[in-house]
Amino acid sequence: MMMETDRKDGRTPNQPRMLSCSRNILHRAHGSASWSRGETKVLAAVYGPKAGTKKNEDPEKACIEVIWKPKTGQIGKAEKECEMIMKKTIQSICLLTVNPNTTTSVVVQVVNDDGALLPCAINAACAALVDAGIPMKHLAVAICCCVAEEGSVVLDPTKLEEQQMRGFAYLVFPNSALSALPKGSSLVDGEPLEHGIITSVTHGVMSVDEYLRCVGRGRAACAKLSDVLRRSLQKSE
């Protein structure tokens, strides 16, 4: 069955763009990282833990605050939504009880948006959190999968492809090789820990099967990405 989609930059449907990640680029921040996928580039900086939590937050846990700075324009609803999604994603990977009554700020600056922006930002934030030394259960790896008109799944679209495709999904999976969990609990419901979805945001309409195929493809791509991330974090510095 012909599943090949001709992509403008010549990539195969399963091929993500060139990845480049660097850490400790901002010297004033406690942790920083930049993550770029092809033309999409995001810079993340982590400040913290600082004393005190914000109002309405639980003082028995650490509080995470995300500030999303768009490339141009004022902060609007889309930015607030991205902040909320990132905050909840980071909260689920950090060990919040280690430093109670503190606030850790993650500032995300969009340098260039060429598709798959939120996954790029989540990856950058994770790398920045590692750089800052914030205690985490495991890392998170994010990917964008989109569904083409005829139903095939394409990984890591550019902005143009995102707009042309029928629908796309941003998926975040755990990367548990650096996990703090004991070995015995690595299987949940017969599926290893890496198979659970931490975050999923979809746009556009697709069938349930197409979504599950996106999840499967995304998982496989994230496993490869986790390897790259692990090696890059271990060898630097």
Partner 1 sequence: MGLLDSSGDLSAEMEVDAFRRLFPLRYYERHLAESIRPDGRPLGRARDTTVALGAVSSADGSALAKIGSTTMLAAIKMEVMTPSAESPDEGCIAIEFHMPPICSPIVRPGRPAEAAVVVSKQLSDTILSSGMIDLKELALVSGKAAWMAYLDIYCLDADGALFDAALLSAVAAFSHCKHLSPFLIVPTSYTLLLSLIHVSARYSLAVQIPVVSVNDKGKIVAFTEEGDGRKLEKEAVNKEKIKLTLGSIPFSLTCALHKKYILADPTSEEESIMETLVTVVMDSSDRLVSFYKPGGPALAYTSLVTDCVALTRHRMKELEKILDEAFSGMEVD
Binding mask 189-228 vs partner 1 (x if CB under 8 A, - otherwise)?
x-x-x-xxxxxxxxxxxxxx-xxx--x-------------
Instruction: Give least dist CB 77 to partner 1, A.
Output: 4
- As beta bridge partners, residue 41 has 36, 112
Q: Give the residue among 54, 142, 43, 135 at the shortest CA–CA distance from 91.
A: 135
Kindly state the number of chain residues that form the binding site for partner 1, as judged by CB under 8 A. 39
Residue carrying the six token digits 């949940």: 188
Q: Are 67 and 106 in contact (CB under 8 A)?
A: yes
Q: Is 18 in the site for partner 1 (CB under 8 A)?
A: no
CB nearer to partner 1: pick between 159 and 195:
195
- For the segment 24-53, give every residue that binds partner 1 (CB under 8 A): none
Compute φ and ψ for 62, nearest 5 degrees. -75, 150
Q: Minimum Å distance from CB 22 to partner 1? A: 25
Binding mask 62-91 for partner 1 (x = CB under 8 A): ---------------xx-xx--xx-xxxxx
CA distance 121 to 40: 10
Nearer to partner 1, 50 or 137 (CB): 137
Q: Give the three-state DSSP class for 201.
A: strand
Using rule CB under 8 A, residue 141 touches partner 1: no
Using CB under 8 A as the binding rule, whether residue 169 contacts partner 1 is answered as yes
Backbone phi, psi, residue 70, to 5°: -75, 165
Tokens 């309409």 correspond to 205
The two beta strands, 187-188 and 191-192, are: antiparallel
**Residue ranges that bind partner 1, judged by CB under 8 A:** 56, 77-78, 80-81, 84-85, 87-92, 167, 169, 172, 174, 188-189, 191, 193, 195-208, 210-212, 215
